[in-house]
Amino acid sequence: MTEAEALELIAIYVTNAHGGFALYLSVTFAYLVTAYLVGSKLTPFQALAVSGLFFIAAIILLLSTMASVQTWVAVKRSTSTVIDTVALYNPELWLFTLPAIMFPGVLVSLYFMWRIRHEKTE
């Protein structure tokens, strides 16, 4: 594969990773707003359903984002490009950073819903 082809593929997969992360943020903030505004009013079934859908969506987005980064890694390893000289385009960095941000975000969001639903009234 030529350098130009590799750069195009890398750009596609970087864009896919950005899109996956943006969707993850959208789903997470929608869940947090829902939890904050109506979490205490939901029935147990409704809270479980919303939390389950959030968890599944967030994990799917995490995995699809990571798949895009892994593909980016494979393309980068197969062909030397000018991107090799840009430190922030090091996909190995993102293979560890993104899950370290995204998975704890899922857990914290679920905990937030739990706290909203189990507030102590004084």
Return d(Cα 57, Cα 116) in angstroms, integer: 21
For the segment 8-18, what is each residue's pLDDT rounded down to a tens digit? 999 999 999 99
The pLDDT assigned to 12 comes to: 95
Cα-based angle 63, 116, 46 (whole degrees, multiple of 5): 65
What is the model's pLDDT at position 46? Answer: 95
pLDDT at 121: 56
- For each successive 10 residues of the chain (122 residues), what is the average pLDDT? 91 95 98 95 95 97 95 90 86 89 96 89 52
